[in-house]
Amino acid sequence: MMRGMESKLGSPASVVKNLLAESWLEERSGRELSVHSELTDEDGKVFAQGSASLVVLSQEQIDQMGVGA
């Protein structure tokens, strides 16, 4: 479950360049996760960055919320 999210948008990206979207786990402490992401071009120029704080839910919690498959 997402606790919070932040995004920072830079300049517009060129439509003729290939873009790379990456995300990675920065930290995990128990059930809490912190992730980060970036959108860059072939030259490494950053067009957008993001981060999010998440909490891992148990199957019981998911069932109680009525979400999932």
Rounded CA separation 29/48 (Å): 26
Q: What angle do CA 38, 27, 42 make, to 5 degrees?
A: 20
From the list 69, 29, 27, 30, the residue with the least C-alpha distance to 52 is: 27
Hey, what domains does the chain have and what are their CATH numbers? 2-65 (3.10.129.10)
Query: Which of 36, 37, 44 is CA-nearest to residue 18?
Result: 44
How far is it, in rounded angstroms, from Cα 45 to Cα 38?
A: 10
Question: 39-49 pLDDT, tens per residue?
Answer: 999 999 999 99
β-bridge partners, 48: 9, 39
pTM reported for the whole predicted model: 0.76
- 3-34 residue pLDDT tens: 999 999 998 988 888 999 999 999 999 999 99
